[in-house]
């Protein structure tokens, strides 16, 4: 394997792991994906990966060379569409040339998430759906519009923790204020129907999966993130109640 080819393969492997990890993939999936892509090319052997919640370290052997790469992931989101595309890419990697791999990774990286307007609308619909689930048909329209407001806050470009705290404050204080102006609305059901928009479900799922796979360091980092999000939700709700009671 020529030095140029080994460098190209290393770049492809690292890009694969970085896209998957930054899109919300768990540590085991990232490690397996990188190894699978590496051994898809002849003469690349003995792949090893050390993955944490924000760091990638990978090495493999090409003839008498040991190639090592390290990369840091600064921002992690929850992009299920990119996770699906990367998984499909990994499955097809054995039948692709390295040039085709790079072109496919370029296409995946350029894949845009759903528009902000669509995500805000989805927030309102999901909140209203939870309202129906709790048999609160009368308040569904209020829950829908409060969900739209929460979605607008959560999709803004401010710090994620601050956004969650602000959204929790918003969904708590809105039904209280509506009831204060004599609009009949169930405060508890309205608040609970909008809270799932902020619950760190994917973070908790990945943390549990990391624990099962004995990746305790990554699990601890994700669990700490989930605790911080839960604390932000509690803080936003508490501030709203404190403001009303003053």
pLDDT of residue 65: 84
Residues 228 and 205 both lie in one domain? yes
Residues 37 and 135 both lie in one domain? no
CA neighbor of 149 nearest in space, from 179, 128, 180? 128
Residues 81 and 132 both lie in one domain? no
Q: Which of 76, 94, 110 is the last residue of a domain?
A: 110
Tell me the C-alpha distance between 207 and 122, whole Å: 26
Residues 102 and 123 both lie in one domain? no
Residues 76 and 165 both lie in one domain? no
**Please, which pLDDT band fits residue 234 given cuts at 50, 70 and 90?**
very high
Residues 147 and 69 both lie in one domain? no
pLDDT of residue 102: 92
Residues 122 and 183 both lie in one domain? yes
Residues 239 and 130 both lie in one domain? yes
Domain tally for the chain?
2
Q: Which of 75, 110, 145 is the last residue of a domain?
A: 110
Which residue range is the domain that position 206 belongs to? 116-245
**Please, which pLDDT band fits residue 34 given cuts at 50, 70 and 90?**
very high
Residues 92 and 128 both lie in one domain? no
Residues 121 and 205 both lie in one domain? yes
Residues 149 and 49 both lie in one domain? no
Which pTM value belongs to this model? 0.76
Residues 52 and 76 both lie in one domain? yes
In tens, the pLDDT along 139-177 reads 889 999 999 999 999 988 888 889 999 999 999 999 999
Task: Map residue 53 onto helix, strand or coil.
Answer: coil
Span between the terminal Cα atoms of the chain, in Å = 72
Q: Which of 95, 110, 125 is the last residue of a domain?
A: 110
217 vs 88, which has greater pLDDT? 88
DSSP line for 159-179: -HHHHHHHHHHHHHHHHHHHH
List, in order, residues 6 or more apart from 45 with CB less than 8 Å away: 39, 60, 61, 62
Do 180 and 208 contact (CB within 8 A), yes or no?
A: no
List, in order, residues 6 or more apart from 124 with CB less than 8 Å away: 144, 145, 147, 148, 151
Average pLDDT over residues 187-193: 89
What stretches of the chain adopt beta strand conformation (E)?
A: 44-51, 55-62, 65-72
- Angle, CA of 10, 113 and 219, to the nearest 5°: 60
């Amino acid at each position: 394997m020529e030095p140029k080819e080994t460098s190209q393969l290393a770049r492809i492997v690292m890009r694969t792991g970085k896209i998957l990890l930054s899109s919300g993939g768990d540590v085991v999936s990232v490690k397996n994906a990188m190894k699978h892509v590496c051994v898809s090319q002849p003469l690349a052997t003995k792949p090893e990966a050390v993955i944490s919640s924000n760091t990638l370290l990978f090495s493999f052997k090409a003839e008498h060379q040991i190639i090592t790469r390290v990369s840091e992931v600064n921002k992690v989101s929850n992009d299920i569409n990119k996770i699906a595309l990367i998984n499909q890419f990994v499955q097809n990697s054995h039948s692709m040339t390295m040039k085709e791999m790079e072109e496919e990774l370029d296409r995946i990286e350029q894949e845009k998430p759903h528009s902000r307007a669509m995500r805000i609308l989805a927030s309102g619909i999901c909140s209203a759906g939870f309202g129906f689930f709790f048999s609160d048909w009368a308040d569904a329209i209020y829950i829908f519009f409060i969900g739209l407001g929460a979605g607008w806050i959560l999709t803004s470009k401010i710090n994620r923790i601050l956004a969650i705290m602000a959204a929790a404050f918003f969904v708590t204080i809105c039904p209280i204020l509506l009831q204060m102006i004599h609009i009949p609305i169930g405060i508890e059901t309205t608040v609970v129907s909008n809270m799932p928009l902020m619950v760190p479900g994917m973070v908790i799922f990945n943390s549990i999966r990391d624990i099962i796979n004995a990746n305790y360091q990554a699990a601890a980092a994700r669990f700490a993130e989930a605790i911080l999000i839960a604390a932000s939700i509690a803080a936003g709700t508490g501030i709203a109640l404190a403001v009303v009671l003053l």
